[in-house]
Structure formats: structure tokens, C-alpha cells
Chains A and B, each alone.
Chain A
Amino acid sequence: MELATLRRLVVFTLIASAVFLSQFRRCSAQFDKLPNERWAKLREVERYQLNIAEKYYKANNWKVAVSEYDKYLKLYEDSEAAPYALLKWSRCQVKLRKGHTAIKEGYQSVIDYWPDSPEAPAAAYYMAKTSNDIGQIRSSKKFYKQVIDKYGKHLVASHAMSDLIALAVVEKDEKTQLDLRKKLTFDVHRSQHNGSICNTAAAELATYYFNRVAFEDGVKARATVTYGREFSAATGQQRIDGTVASVKASINKLLANTKTKAQGDRLAGLAIAYVRKQTPTGTTEEDKILARLHWLHVADLTITARQKDKVPGVYEQMLKIFGSDDEVLTRLAAWYITEKRYDEARAAYRRFTDKVKGLEYVAITYRISHQKKLASAIDAYNQILGLDPDRKVHWKQQVALTYNEFGNYLQAIGVYAELQNLDIENRHKWKGNIASTYSVAKKYNEAIAVYKQLIQEDIGGASNWSYQVAWIHHHRTGKLTDAISYYRQCINTANKYNQIADCYLRLKQYPRAIQQYKTIIGDKTLTASAPQAQLNIAWTQEKAGKKESAIKAFQTVCKNYPKLKQASQAHAHLQSKYKINVTLGGSKDE
């Protein structure tokens, strides 16, 4: 995988997690919050006590929060916030993995004693959810149905339906899935708090219909999906975008199976016809923009439908209608690449209006394709250098990277040397690249010589360059004493001590290796690495043939870090290797 792709993947994952977490927080917060008008109804003492409990709840200190909510309930049983306090008390019990207590003594009491309170629907929903979480599926389903029947118009009903759908998916109960998705899609009013649930249900319902080639029904379901923070109805374009995204997955699924291939073809035909029908024919700028987007969808659907002979035609038609368009050409070239038609892909790139971008892609295809061609790639970069002299450093770096990829290390070093003079500000970085290229080329002496120069020249990065020298001595040249002396010049990290210890282990100087691990254990800034260091002491003692000391060291791991995986390893090793059952340790899961 390319570095850029990897980076994009990481960014996407981070964004997706952030969106998920924000949704999750929103979902849990909507039931767990006491509105301001009800806070206002509380007496000062009540507010004070509730604030204390809330503080511990927010700090995830569940044990203390439980006792504080309990205190509130004992002192102000008749207050406005009593059902709220009991609801939160139950939430804390769930966090403390006491789901049964939460249901029997918490949620049920909220429903029994304050049936008309705003917390009653939330309690009913949480009761069902907790039952689900503790494996009581039958009662959980019963509770969910009660929530839907009793609080049909409340927000909790949407959540209950969503959870029931999840259970029906596990049980492969298609009828329940369909009924509930229909309800969430067409009957439930969407708000900020249930919008995402309803939209998910609508998208799933659309997929259900598309999978059965019920295209019209799928489009109708998809049309209900709302957009934006305000959950406003979809515009015509959004509706088409969503439909195409959804139908593509169904076409792929149907075409993958020979039995359903005909259905897949039919669905693709329907989808293409639908998009073509919606394509504006006006001559205004807006119409043209929309028409172009529709054409792109047609091309996408043609690719998904595996109509290989038609794909280039669709793109060429687009180029005729809308004129030269780099995005269209990019898509066409990308399709050629998936079809392994590299020459045609490059031809498409060469038609770019942005010649530099087009040539860059051409060079990349020479670098990544199966028919790797160094000269052609370098030639493309040289053409770019002529066209874009302002970004010389960037393109030179690409040339160096290309030489590296093809194993032409000396030429790569030559380019890096050029870059040193071109980009004075980053000269240490380019020199570092020269050294690392020497190292990759297995010219270790030259690499070390360059790194040594860098230690002298770049005081700020000396630790890093020392580490590089040490690493080459350690893992490549085998000069372990030299490696140790260079490691010692690096800043203190657990990795540094571990590497030094490894050198001593290879030199069979076991007491010295142990000393390094002891340094990790003794360093208060490296506490996270202490359990592994203790385990490494045990392994080292074992390697040194000191059976008794090794056993003691393994037992120390079990005793000092009973909740960590290192304890598990030590425990298992003591039993399997030494047949020792007395491993010490032991912990509680509270």
C-alpha cells in the first residue's frame, strides 16, 4: 500500500471514529441530561448534592457516584430530580457491571414510583438495553416492544426499534427487520436525536429493496434520508447520489453470484435509465454542472455493471459534451489501471489540461505498474522539471525516490547530494537520506561515516543520528560494543535500554543486560515499560542458565503485575517449562 493511501486511510478512520463517538455521546447524553428548567426547580441543597454526584459521574468514578446518588435519594426522596438521580444511579450500576441490580432496583423503580416523570421512558428503554447487554434476550425483546407500544412517539422508541433490528439481524428474522425499518423510514419523525437511526434504517431498507430488484421501492426509501445538522430533506442531487451509492453495492452483490447475475444486469439497467432520465438537459451553468455529475454516475454504474466495452465510450461522450475535463480523464485512467491497460491509462493522463499533474500520474504508473520502467518514469519527471521549475526540490525528491525504488542507489544518492545544495534549510534531512540510502545499499561504512558527520553538524538531531549508527552496528555490522556506545549517546527511552540489553544478550553478558532492564524498572518515567522489563529479566536469567533466579523473576512478574498480559505469559511459562504451579500473583476483577 502506498504511503499516501495509508495516510488517507488513517485520516478517514480517525474522522469516522470521531463522528461515531460524537453520535454515541449525543445518543447517551440525550437521556442522561436534566434540563435547565428542572434544575431551576431544585432547592439549593438538592442542587449542591446532585452536582457532587454529577461530578463523579462525569469523571467515570462510578463507585463514588453511586453512593452520592444514593445519598441524594435518601435525603431528597420527594424532589423534582429524584427519578433522575435514580436513573443515573442505575447507569452507574451498569457501568459497575451490576446490570441485574440496575434493572430490579433502579430502572424498574423509576417506572413504578415515577411513571409520569420524563425519566420513565428512558428507564424503560435502558431496562431493555441492559437486559440485552446481560444476555437476557427474551426479556429484552419484551421490554423493547413495551417501550415501542407505550412511548411510541418518544425518542426512545426509535432507539428501541434500532436495537430490535440489530437483534433480528442476529436471529436472521427478516420480517421483523423489514417491519421495523419501514416504520423508522416512513413513520417516525426525524429530529436531531434520532435522525441518524432513521437514516440508517432508510438506507438499509433501500439496500433490501435493491437486492430484490425492487428499484422503485428502494428509491422511495432512499429519498427519505435527511442531510446536514438540521436533518433537512434531500435535494434532488443528494437523492441521486445516495441512490447510486446504495444501488452500486447491490449490483456488485448480485453480479458476484452466477445465479443472480441476470438480476444484477437488470438492476444496473434500471439504475442507469433512472439516472439518465433525471439528467438535466438545460443550457444554464447549473444544469451543466448537474448533468456532468449525472454522467459521472452513469459511468460509475457502467463500471459496476461490468460493461467493459461501454465504459470508455461513456467517458469519451462526456469529454465531447463537456469538453476536456481532468477529473473525467482521471476516472477513465483509473479504470484502465484496474483493467491493467496501462498504456491507455497513460494516454488518458497525457490528455490532461494540467500537464504537470498528468505527467506526475504518468510517472507514477511507471513506478507502480507491473511493467516498471525506470527510464520512462525519470523521463516523465524530467519533463515535469521543465514545466514546473518552482517545485524543483519536490520533483527532485521524487526522482531520488524512484531511483531508490528501482535499486539504483548511487544515482539516488547523487540526487540527494544535489538536493543538499538546492535546499539548504533541510540539508541535514537530505544528508540523512544519503546515509539511509547507503545503509539500504548495504554500504554500511559509508552510511556510518555520513551519520557521524551529521552528529557533528546537527546538534539538535544528534540523538537520532547516534541511534541510526548504533542500529547499523547492532543489526547489520554486528559490532555490538560500538552499538552500545552509540546507544548510550541517545536520549533515555525504554527502547534505548532494551536495545542495549539486546546487545549485551548477544555478547552473552547477562548481568549487564539485566542491569539495563533494572534501569527501566527503576526509572519512574518509564513505568509503562516496567512489566515487560521484569519479564525480560526472567528470560535473561533463563538464558544465563540461572534456573532459580529465573523462576523467582517470573514469579515477581505474576506478583507485581497480576492484571497484565506479562503475568499471563510468566504464569504459563512457569507451568509449562518448570512444572511450577506456585506462580504467586492473583487479582480481582471488580
Chain B
Amino acid sequence: MKQKTVQTVLIAVGASVAYVVLWQAALLLTGLFGWYSLRALLALYGTIGLFVVGLGWVVWVVELIGQQFERLRHQRREYDGAVPVLHKPLRRDADQQQWIWNPLDPGAWFYGGRRHKRLFQSIFALSWYSLAFFMALFLLTQIQGCKEYYDSPAGGGKPKQVVQKLKVKKIIRKKFLVNPFSPFLFDAPDIEKMVKFNFRDMTKHSYQVGQGEGEGAGFAGGRKGGKVRFIRLEYSGGDWDQNFGIGGDNNLLDRYAKFTGHKVAEKTESRTVAQLKRFPIGRSPALVYMTGQKSISLSKSEIKILREYLNEKHGMIFCSNGGSPHFHNQFDSMMNNVVPNAVRRPIQLDDPIHRGLDFIPIVAPHGGKQALGWYLDGRLICYYHPGDIGDAWCDDHAGVKSEIFEASYQLGINVIFHAHAEYSKWNLARKKRKK
């Protein structure tokens, strides 16, 4: 019988451990395959499951130890057979004449009178377990873990128009109808042989997209081995994962690489707001992307992290309204909470961030028609696109005209580039100040 109990316990322990392992594996796999909605569901229901499993163990352990105490008490004093032990005077242990403080002992004085001692112990255990579980959960979500680094690719260049526009021009070839014996000099001397200019070095940075001076296209404030990454923010309350990954915003990253020649990450990524804290100053993402059509719910600590990211880490938010005027209001209110001292203004069509664009592409006017910017001390800290630009980056481009989706790509590339170039400038200045 005892052996059978041990066997049952072992099976239960195995099953519990297997549950945790399988749950985490499922989370990992869904993340790898880009099934973010399923991942979110698994995370929620998995946590509930974990709570139930843990509660089962708590009940079992408390019951086991409680029985143990009762058995000991039986051995120590006489049991009259008519009144159960628990119904005898219990505020004090009869034998030892002292207060029982151990909460695992159902005879503890704080579980009240004779009746319902077990019930009070169960309520006590459940309360403490719930508190401990949620505290642990809170701490785990707050733990920053190892530091994470975000480095832009090193290099240099000019912030020239990143998308090449091809226009077919009709070239009329000039024909010279002159007498070959006339006094015209057709064999002009090679000017490069006469005056030696090192054009390649002089104009090196003018023909590559980037910021500052450095080898190859990139950013002077970047690092060797660094990559441009496209990180979107995970937040509670809404559908942050609209058009995420392959076939969605990955297309933008590919385009960015194609037109700038910068090294980019293989895939777009996502981080929770809390995870932004992991990045140290000077090696944090230059830009984070937000989208959705529902609510945005941020805790006080998340608001603080975002404020720190925008103010101290010189970050920037790129937001696209994914489907409702409600999201527009939510985002506006979020920004008011995060940076109350920033000013909100419509971004001008001739702003450097709109380089190469004659208009702002709108897929659907969810949050008005004007692109909005939040400025802090003259710096653009947030670019808000009202018309679901993320849809235009998808494989099917939401069925909009090529003119619109090409402009959407260009706008996306411009925003990424602008954020990285500004970050690079700031990083260089910061390093100089340190020296």
C-alpha cells in the first residue's frame, strides 16, 4: 500500500514536471513558428494550469503534514473516543501548555475555535499560496535577466534618398557634322591625368547610405557585427502582433537591407515593455514599433521604462494604427502618460523623415489622415502613422496600388533610418563627452 502511494506520488511529480517542460516547449515552438496569437493563449492558459497544479501540491503537502501532526498528538495524549482531537480545547496544547504557532499544524491557535479549523487552514494555505504565486509571477516578469545589446551596423554615409526612383529619359545623341580638317580638337587630354583628385576617398560617404564616417554603409556610432533589427513592442490589452514576422514586417526589413546595404537581422523580433529595460544606455534599440487596433494597457513600471527608453536611452517609437479610432485615442493617451512634456505636432510633408515622398501613404484612415509626431526638445521621439502602414508591407500589400505600398515601404525605411542615424549621432556625442 505504502509502495503504491510512493509510486502515485512519483507519477504526480513526473506529470507536474512534464507539464512545465511541455508548456515551455510549446511556447518556444509557437514563438519560433511565428504563431503569436496561439503563443499568447498558451501563455495565459498555461499560467492558469500551473497555478492549479501548484495548488494541488500545496493541498496535498498541507494535508499530509496536518495528518502527521494529528497522529503525533494522538500518540502523546489520550483520545477519549467521543470527542475528536480537534474539537477539544485547542487554543493551547494541553500537554505542553504553550501556544502552537506552526501554520502547518491544524491545531495552531490562530485557526480559531474548535470547529472549522481545517477550513481556516485551507483558506490560510490558499491565500498564502495565491500571494506567493502572483508575487513570483510579478518578480519573474520584472526580472531583467541577462543584459541584452542592440548594436547598429558600423560604417558611415549620408542620409541621401534611400529609394532610387527610376525615370526613363529620352537621350538625344548629338551628332557633329564638321569637316575633319577643321581646327577642332577632338582628342581632348585626359583631365584625370592632368589633375589628380582622389574622388573615391573624397566622395566615399556620399554614395552610401548611413551616418558619419566609417568603412562601408552603416552608422558611425554603430559597432562591428551590429545589425539593424526591427523590434516591436508587446503590450497587454491589444493585438500587438498584427502582420508580425514572415510575410509581414519582415518584408520591410528585407527592403531596408536592399536599399541601404546595411546589415539587418534575419527576422523581425518582439520584446515586452519590461524587456526594454535590459538594454543598457548606448546599446539599446534605436527604434521600437507598435501597432494594434484594440486597447493599450501599461502598468506604472512599464510607463517608467518607456519614459526612460525615450528620454535617457534616446529611443524612438514608430506606431501604426492597425484598425480603429479607439487605438488612436489609446496611443495618444499612452504618450501623454509616458512623455507629458513632449509636444504633439503634425509631421510636415517636407520633413527630412519624408525624404523622397510626395505624399503620406494611407491604407485605411483609422486615426485621421495626418502623420503625427511627438517632439521632445526638438527631437522626434515618436512617429505615428494613422493609416495602417503595416498592412502595406505584407505580401499582398492589402490590395492597395503599387504607388501606395511602395511609398509605404519607403516611409518605413525612412523612419528606421532616421531613428538609427539620430541614435548614432547621439551615441557619438555621448562617447565624446565621456572621453
Chain A residues in the interface with B (C-beta under 8 A) = 96-101, 133-139, 170-171, 555, 558, 562-565, 567-568, 570-572, 575-576, 581-590
Chain B residues closer than 8 Å to A581, beta-carbon distance: 243, 391, 394, 396, 398-399
**Who on chain A is nearest to B392 by CB?**
A586
Chain B residues closer than 8 Å to A555, beta-carbon distance: 399
| Contact flag A588-B343 (CB < 8 Å), given A97-B349, A98-B350, A99-B348 | no
CA distance A351 to B378 in the complex (A): 65
**Who on chain A is nearest to B369 by CB?**
A589
CA distance A98 to B350 in the complex (A): 5
What's the minimum C-beta distance from B408 to chain A, rounded to whole angstroms? 9
What's the minimum C-beta distance from A571 to chain B, rounded to whole angstroms? 4
CA distance A99 to B354 in the complex (A): 13
CA distance A562 to B404 in the complex (A): 12
**Who on chain B is nearest to A140 by CB?**
B378
**Who on chain A is nearest to B404 by CB?**
A586
B365 near A582 (CB under 8 angstroms)? no
What's the minimum C-beta distance from B168 to chain A, rounded to whole angstroms? 23
What's the minimum C-beta distance from B186 to chain A, rounded to whole angstroms? 39
CA distance A575 to B401 in the complex (A): 18
**Who on chain B is nearest to A94 by CB?**
B348
| Contact flag A567-B365 (CB < 8 Å), given A99-B348, A135-B375, A589-B359 | yes
B351 near A134 (CB under 8 angstroms)? yes
- Is B90 interfacial (CB 8 A cutoff)? no
- Is B363 interfacial (CB 8 A cutoff)? yes
User: How many residues belonging to B are interface residues under a CB distance threshold of 8 Å?
Assistant: 46
Q: Which of A96, A97, A563, A576 contacts B362 (CB 8 A)?
A: A563
B375 near A588 (CB under 8 angstroms)? no
CA distance A513 to B392 in the complex (A): 34
B398 near A585 (CB under 8 angstroms)? yes
CA distance A98 to B323 in the complex (A): 28
A135 near B361 (CB under 8 angstroms)? no
Chain B residues closer than 8 Å to A136, beta-carbon distance: 375, 378
B378 near A138 (CB under 8 angstroms)? yes
- Is B373 interfacial (CB 8 A cutoff)? yes
**Who on chain A is nearest to B377 by CB?**
A138
Q: Which of B341, B365, B371, B396 contacts A563 (CB 8 A)?
A: B365
Chain A residues closer than 8 Å to B242, beta-carbon distance: 575
- Is B364 interfacial (CB 8 A cutoff)? yes
Centre residue among A135, A558, A572, A590 by max chain B CB count within 10 A: A135
B362 near A588 (CB under 8 angstroms)? yes
| Contact flag A576-B323 (CB < 8 Å), given A582-B399, A583-B398, A585-B363 | yes
For B384-416 the 0/1 string (1 means CB < 8 A from A) is 000110011010101111001101000000000
A sample of 16 more A-B contacts (CB under 8 A), given A135-B347, A137-B343, is A135-B345, A562-B365, A567-B364, A570-B364, A571-B363, A575-B391, A576-B293, A581-B243, A582-B396, A583-B391, A583-B399, A585-B399, A586-B392, A586-B399, A587-B365, A589-B387
For B96-118 the 0/1 string (1 means CB < 8 A from A) is 00000000000000000000000
A572 near B370 (CB under 8 angstroms)? no
What's the minimum C-beta distance from B400 to chain A, rounded to whole angstroms? 3
| Contact flag A100-B323 (CB < 8 Å), given A563-B369, A586-B361, A590-B358 | no
A583 near B364 (CB under 8 angstroms)? yes
B349 near A96 (CB under 8 angstroms)? yes
- Is B273 interfacial (CB 8 A cutoff)? no
- Chain B contact residues, majority secondary structure: loop
Chain B residues in the interface with A (C-beta under 8 A) = 242-243, 293, 323-325, 341, 343, 345-352, 358-366, 369-371, 373, 375, 377-378, 380, 387-388, 391-392, 394, 396, 398-401, 404-405, 407
CA distance A586 to B361 in the complex (A): 7
**Who on chain A is nearest to B405 by CB?**
A586
Chain B residues closer than 8 Å to A587, beta-carbon distance: 361-362, 365, 369, 387, 404
Chain A residues closer than 8 Å to B371, beta-carbon distance: 589
What's the minimum C-beta distance from B292 to chain A, rounded to whole angstroms? 11
| Contact flag A98-B400 (CB < 8 Å), given A565-B365, A576-B323 | no
| Contact flag A572-B293 (CB < 8 Å), given A98-B348, A584-B400, A588-B359 | yes
Centre residue among B243, B325, B400 by max chain A CB count within 10 A: B400
CA distance A60 to B341 in the complex (A): 34
A590 near B359 (CB under 8 angstroms)? yes
B350 near A135 (CB under 8 angstroms)? no
Chain B residues closer than 8 Å to A137, beta-carbon distance: 343, 375, 377-378
CA distance A100 to B392 in the complex (A): 28
Chain B residues closer than 8 Å to A586, beta-carbon distance: 361-363, 392, 398-401, 404-405
**Who on chain B is nearest to A167 by CB?**
B343
8 intermolecular pairs with C-beta atoms under 8 Å apart: A97-B348, A134-B347, A135-B343, A584-B398, A586-B362, A586-B401, A588-B359, A589-B387
CA distance A392 to B384 in the complex (A): 63
What's the minimum C-beta distance from A218 to chain B, rounded to whole angstroms? 29
What's the minimum C-beta distance from A165 to chain B, rounded to whole angstroms? 15
Chain A residues closer than 8 Å to B405, beta-carbon distance: 586
Chain A residues closer than 8 Å to B392, beta-carbon distance: 586
**Who on chain A is nearest to B408 by CB?**
A586
B343 near A170 (CB under 8 angstroms)? yes
**Who on chain A is nearest to B401 by CB?**
A586
CA distance A567 to B324 in the complex (A): 11
What's the minimum C-beta distance from B276 to chain A, rounded to whole angstroms? 24
CA distance A139 to B379 in the complex (A): 11
B323 near A585 (CB under 8 angstroms)? no
Chain A residues closer than 8 Å to B366, beta-carbon distance: 568, 571-572
Chain B residues closer than 8 Å to A564, beta-carbon distance: 365
Centre residue among B362, B392, B407 by max chain A CB count within 10 A: B362
Chain A residues closer than 8 Å to B359, beta-carbon distance: 588-590
What's the minimum C-beta distance from A220 to chain B, rounded to whole angstroms? 33
Centre residue among A137, A170, A583, A588 by max chain B CB count within 10 A: A588
Chain A residues closer than 8 Å to B293, beta-carbon distance: 572, 576
**Who on chain B is nearest to A172 by CB?**
B341
| Contact flag A568-B365 (CB < 8 Å), given A138-B378, A576-B323 | yes
CA distance A589 to B362 in the complex (A): 7
CA distance A567 to B369 in the complex (A): 12
B349 near A588 (CB under 8 angstroms)? no
A572 near B349 (CB under 8 angstroms)? no
What's the minimum C-beta distance from B355 to chain A, rounded to whole angstroms? 11
CA distance A237 to B405 in the complex (A): 66
B364 near A135 (CB under 8 angstroms)? no
CA distance A97 to B360 in the complex (A): 12
A562 near B348 (CB under 8 angstroms)? no
Chain B residues closer than 8 Å to A570, beta-carbon distance: 364
**Who on chain A is nearest to B321 by CB?**
A568
A589 near B373 (CB under 8 angstroms)? no
Q: Which of A101, A134, A582 contacts B398 (CB 8 A)?
A: A582
A562 near B362 (CB under 8 angstroms)? yes
CA distance A136 to B399 in the complex (A): 37
Q: Which of B243, B352, B404 contacts A588 (CB 8 A)?
A: B404
B348 near A100 (CB under 8 angstroms)? yes
Chain B residues closer than 8 Å to A583, beta-carbon distance: 363-364, 391, 398-399
Centre residue among A99, A100, A575 by max chain B CB count within 10 A: A575
CA distance A562 to B369 in the complex (A): 11
CA distance A258 to B150 in the complex (A): 52
B365 near A139 (CB under 8 angstroms)? no
CA distance A563 to B369 in the complex (A): 8
Chain B residues closer than 8 Å to A582, beta-carbon distance: 396, 398-399
What's the minimum C-beta distance from A415 to chain B, rounded to whole angstroms? 47
What's the minimum C-beta distance from B362 to chain A, rounded to whole angstroms? 5
B398 near A589 (CB under 8 angstroms)? no
A135 near B380 (CB under 8 angstroms)? yes
Centre residue among A96, A97, A133, A558 by max chain B CB count within 10 A: A97
What's the minimum C-beta distance from A366 to chain B, rounded to whole angstroms? 44
CA distance A392 to B418 in the complex (A): 76
A588 near B365 (CB under 8 angstroms)? no
A589 near B360 (CB under 8 angstroms)? yes
CA distance A101 to B351 in the complex (A): 9
B378 near A585 (CB under 8 angstroms)? no
CA distance A135 to B371 in the complex (A): 13
